[in-house]
Amino acid sequence: MSINSENLIAIHKNLNKYPETKLLIVTKNQDLNDINVLISEGYRLFGENRVQEAYRKYSQININNDLELHLIGPLQRNKVKQALKIFDTIQTIDRFSLIDEISKQINNLSDLRTRDFYIQVNIGQEEQKFGVSKKELKELYSYSIEKKISVSGLMCIPPNTSNPSVFFKEMLDLKNNINENLKLSMGMSGDYQIALNFQTNFIRIGSLIFR
């Protein structure tokens, strides 16, 4: 693998029009050498899909306050303790039992790293995808606050067979209905330019960057 510099330049050119949006580089299945190249070029914001893979790779990198790591894949309850020690942000909160486990672990951890949580919404109501349903979102958000879990945003993966604009607009409406100060994480390699039109705060891009 190597870095696709041309695509990176194009992504930044698009982002220049949206100063509130950050590039989250997805390093799932990517080589440590490529990650280190990106770090040497000044990139500090990365996303991983699996707790174990993130630990394996980033334990070999000096994870300090200068590097920000997000979990953007599903989180199992038995991985919560480890995840809270690795990730700055967990973007995939999607059920009440997971909130209970996080709340329990937070109170017992002396080396807690995670400070922010996002709720993942199954915006397309797809059976095969993770995420809380739209009708349960508000209740899950309220439960998180009740449990003193700092929910700072919403995340989604729209269906890849439909126009994503509809789903990005719906996410923006859901966010504003719950708390307009929440952030949005939406838009990936194939649809990030569309997501930029709907006030996303993070675009999660991997395949466009690595080749």
* C-alpha–C-alpha distance, residues 105 and 117, integer Å: 14
Pair 65, 34: CB distance under 8 Å: no
Domains in the chain and their CATH numbers?
5-205 (3.20.20.10)
The CA distance from 51 to 1, in Å, is 22
Q: Are 39 and 11 contacting, i.e. CB atoms less than 8 angstroms apart? A: no
Looking at residue 65, its pLDDT comes to 61
Q: How many CB atoms lie within 10 A of CB 133?
A: 12
- DSSP 8-state class, residue 132: B
- Crossing angle of the two packed helices 134-146 and 164-178, in degrees rounded to 10: 40
Q: Supply the pTM of this predicted model.
A: 0.95
Q: How crowded is residue 170: how many other Cβ atoms within 10 Å of its Cβ?
A: 17
Element spanning 178, H or E: helix 164-178
Euclidean distance between CA atoms 176 and 53, whole angstroms = 34
What does the pLDDT read at residue 64? 64
The dihedral of CA 89, 91, 92, 96: what is its sign?
positive
Q: What are phi and psi of 117, to 5 degrees?
A: -130, 140
The pLDDT value given to residue 103 = 96
At residue 61, the pLDDT reads 83
Q: Which of 91, 62, 86, 59 is nearest to 74 (CA)?
A: 91
Q: What pLDDT shows up at residue 162? A: 80
The tens-digit pLDDT sequence of the chain (211 residues) is: 799 999 999 999 999 999 999 999 999 999 999 999 999 999 999 999 999 999 999 888 866 668 999 999 999 999 999 999 999 999 999 999 999 999 999 988 989 999 999 999 999 999 889 999 999 999 999 999 999 998 999 999 999 878 999 999 999 999 999 999 999 999 999 999 999 999 999 999 999 999 8
